[in-house]
A and B are shown apart, each in its own frame.
Chain A
Amino acid sequence: MHSPQKFFPGSDPTSWDACDKFGTPGDQIQICASTGLLAGQPAPTYNIRFNMPNAGHVTIGVFDAHAKLVKYLLNDDEPATLPGQFRQPPVIWDFTDSEGHHVSAGDYRVYFQTGDFQSTSDVVIE
Chain B
Amino acid sequence: MRRALGGVVLAAVCSSFAASALAQPPSTESQPQRGKVTSRIQRTEDERDRFELGMAVPQGYFDWLGTFGYRRFMREGGPLEQSLAAEISGTAKDYLGEGALSVYYFFRPIQSYKEGWKLRPLIEAGPGGHVVVQIADVEGFNDSAFHTQAYLKAHLYGGFEFLFSQKLGLVVRGRVTLPEDHPFDYAQAAILLR
Q: Which positions in A face B, CB cutoff 8 Å?
A: 1-8, 10, 59, 61, 63, 66-69, 72, 75, 111, 113, 118
Contacts and interface: CB of A to CB of B under 8 A. Distances in A.
Contacts of B138: 63, 67, 111
A7 B59 contact: no
Contacts of A67: 95-96, 136, 138, 145
A72 B139 CA distance: 10
Contact of B147 (A1, A5, A113): A5
Given A2-B61, A67-B96, A118 B147 contact: no
Given A66-B96, A113-B141, 12 more contacts: A1-B100, A2-B186, A5-B132, A6-B147, A7-B145, A7-B146, A7-B147, A59-B140, A61-B139, A75-B140, A111-B140, A118-B143
A71 to B, nearest CB: 11
A6 B61 CA distance: 13
A4 B134 contact: yes
Contacts of A4: 61, 96, 134, 136
12 contacts: A1-B58, A1-B180, A2-B61, A2-B98, A3-B60, A3-B61, A61-B139, A66-B136, A67-B96, A68-B95, A72-B140, A113-B141
Contacts of B96: 4, 66-67
Most chain A CB within 10 A, of B65, B132, B145, is at B145
Given A1-B151, A4-B134, A10-B145, A69 B139 contact: yes
Interface string B124-141: 000000101010101111
Contacts of A75: 140
A46 to B, nearest CB: 18
Nearest to A111: B141
Contacts of A72: 140
Secondary structure at chain A's binding surface: helix, strand, loop or mixed? Answer: loop
Contacts of B149: 5
A1 to B, nearest CB: 6
Contacts of B31: none
Interface in B137-168: 138-143, 145-147, 149, 151, 153
A2 B140 contact: no
B81 interface: no
Nearest to B91: A2
A8 B144 CA distance: 12
Contacts of A59: 140-141
B62 interface: yes
Contacts of B91: 2
Interface in B79-105: 91, 95-96, 98, 100
B62 A2 contact: yes
A8 B145 CA distance: 8
B76 interface: no
A5 B150 CA distance: 12
Contact of A61 (B61, B141, B146, B181): B141
